[in-house]
Amino acid sequence: MNLQNSKPLLSLLLLAGLAYLLHKIVFYVLHINDQAFYYSIETLYLLFLGLSTIVFIVLLKVKERSFDNVGMSFLLGTSIKMVFCYLILRPLLQVSTQNIAVEKKNFFVMFILFLAIETILTIRILNEKQ
């Protein structure tokens, strides 16, 4: 894979790193203790980054073989990722304490953040054909 093809992966890594730093700063400023979370922030960022990287590797392979199927591959990959994330979120959905509410919101915000990053980077890939 050459540098031009790995550009979305580098952008993903950079954006995820910036989001992580911002996330930690917000938690520090708001005095939110993440030590009691079921999943640590670092674990979730690594999970979402890993899943997003897999989606982009697949998208880049599909782009090389059949550019017209990139959009459908993105939708399929995102759907599979959503099912996987639901399975990870299930233990949190079954608990109903005050601290879990913050963790649930944290999980959903991170999911939406990575979904937005993936969507923007996929749009860039799709616009390369023009």
DSSP symbol at 40: -
Q: Average per-residue pLDDT in the chain? A: 88
What's the total number of domains in the chain?
1
pLDDT of 114 > 70? The answer is yes
In a domain, 129, yes or no: no
Range of the domain at 45: 7-124
Q: Which residues does 9 contact at the CB level (< 8 Å), separation at least 6?
A: 53, 56, 57, 60
In a domain, 69, yes or no: yes
In a domain, 99, yes or no: yes
In a domain, 19, yes or no: yes
pLDDT of 80 > 90? The answer is yes
For residue 109, give both structure tokens: 């915000």
In a domain, 130, yes or no: no
Q: Which residue has the tokens 């963790």?
A: 103
Instruction: Give pLDDT, residue 53.
Output: 93
Predicted model pTM: 0.87
pLDDT of 65 > 60? The answer is yes
Instruction: List pLDDT tens digits, range 2-51.
Output: 556 678 889 899 999 999 999 999 989 988 888 878 888 999 999 999 99
Q: Which residues does 36 contact at the CB level (< 8 Å), separation at least 6?
A: 99
The torsion region of residue 90 among left (phi > 0), alpha (psi -120 to 50) and beta comes to: alpha
